[in-house]
Amino acid sequence: MKLALKNIESAIKNVEKKNFKLLFFVADSKGVPVGSLAYTYELAYRLKELGYKVQMLYAENDFVGVKDWLGEKYASLPHFNSQKDNIDVSPSDFLFIPELFSNVMAKTKSLPCKKIAILQSFNYLTELIPLGSSWESLGVRDCITTSKSMEERLKEIFPSTKTYVIRPSIDGVFSQTKKAKLIVNIISKDENDINRVVKPFKWRYPIYDFVTFRYINGRSRDEEAQYLREGAISIWIDDKTDFGYTALEAMASGNIVIGKIPENTPEWMLDKDGELIDNGVWFYKMRELPGLLSSVIQTLLYDKIPQGLYENMEETVSNYTEEKQLEDIKTVLEEVFETREKELHLMADALKNNLNEDTKKD
């Protein structure tokens, strides 16, 4: 018990001096671009820039990483195989675990470090936690998420979880150009949506046979940014999303977004009263899409797109800058570290009381 107390007191000093490791468990997308994974890497990279000791953990033996689609900047973060490398973890360290890794939460339950979930997909949360388990039963009592609306949804099921919001940022590579062409980008995780979009439109409006369509998913960040800059319109279909990173990247690139409203409407699509904002052209059913796309193309050709639409797009994008994300990170970190220091002090006090009780008995 004396050794345990000594370790806790040492951990308190390490937190005070910010001498600890920030460990991020990541999935390997095998070179396929994934917005949620990009968010985790961006968060880790910002922390490294702030001077913290950041390490990325993975479990795959044939780990590919993110170099091909996110670039060397993120791939250069220190990576370790959690199954093979010897990783020392102390009570002053912090382990960040995405919501899809409930198995990792279970395996690391006994580790002395502070464990914090990263929540970006509510579907993963409900699908992958075993029935009868909860984050608290897996040793996770804190969570970072991407929006206030996600925070509110989490509180409905895990009311005791301490939550923090760190907004994603839109990479500066997504920018506008005056050389945009009448190209329609299709943003969807399902390649079959190409046929669902293009064929009905061309059958119904053969006059627009000259319009070019491009499917942009699965490309590197630089390639995606180039496609978006070259296009004028982006069709966005992602029923299961909780945030919609690519739609925001399209807006930042100057594209008019024609989007199918997801099951869980992202907060950037709604005003304070919960009504849809005119920062895009929104629809509920796929059969509405051909008519909407025809109207947007016609309005573009006649240069009659309402200025208010572009202003709303710019205002939406302005909420997700790197500067604002950095502000969120600094605010959240201050609270996270302060909370951990208090927890460690409580642990130390409990150990001291136990030692005193044992001494009295002797």
- Domains, the chain, with CATH or none: 17-166 (3.40.50.2000), 183-318 (3.40.50.2000)
Helix (H), strand (E) at residue 329: helix 322-361
CB 126 within 8 A of CB 147: no
Q: Give, for all 362 residues of the chain, the pLDDT tens digit.
A: 678 888 888 989 999 999 999 999 999 999 888 889 999 999 999 999 999 999 999 998 899 999 999 999 999 999 999 888 888 899 999 999 999 999 999 999 999 999 999 999 888 888 888 888 899 999 999 999 999 999 999 999 999 999 999 999 999 999 987 777 899 999 998 889 999 999 999 999 999 999 999 999 888 899 999 999 999 999 999 998 889 999 999 999 999 999 999 988 999 999 989 999 999 999 999 999 999 999 999 999 999 999 999 999 999 999 999 999 999 999 999 999 999 999 999 988 888 887 776 666 65
Residue 350: predicted pLDDT = 85
How far is it, in rounded angstroms, from Cα 319 to Cα 341? 31
Residue 349: predicted pLDDT = 86
Of residues 151, 162, 88, 83, the one with CA closest to residue 120: 151
Q: Burial level of 23, CB count in 10 A (0-12/13-18/19+)?
A: buried
Structure tokens at 151: 């925070």
Helix (H), strand (E) at residue 26: none
Q: Which residues contact 88 (CB under 8 A, 6 or more apart)?
A: none
How far is it, in rounded angstroms, from Cα 205 to Cα 293? 10
Residues present in the chain in total = 362
Residue 160: predicted pLDDT = 94
Q: Which residues contact 50 (CB under 8 A, 6 or more apart)?
A: 329, 330, 333
How far is it, in rounded angstroms, from Cα 195 to Cα 179? 27
- Side by side, the strands of the sheet bearing 94-98 are 79-81, 53-58, 21-25, 94-98, 114-119, 142-145, 162-165
Q: Burial level of 352, CB count in 10 A (0-12/13-18/19+)?
A: middle
How far is it, in rounded angstroms, from Cα 81 to Cα 64? 12
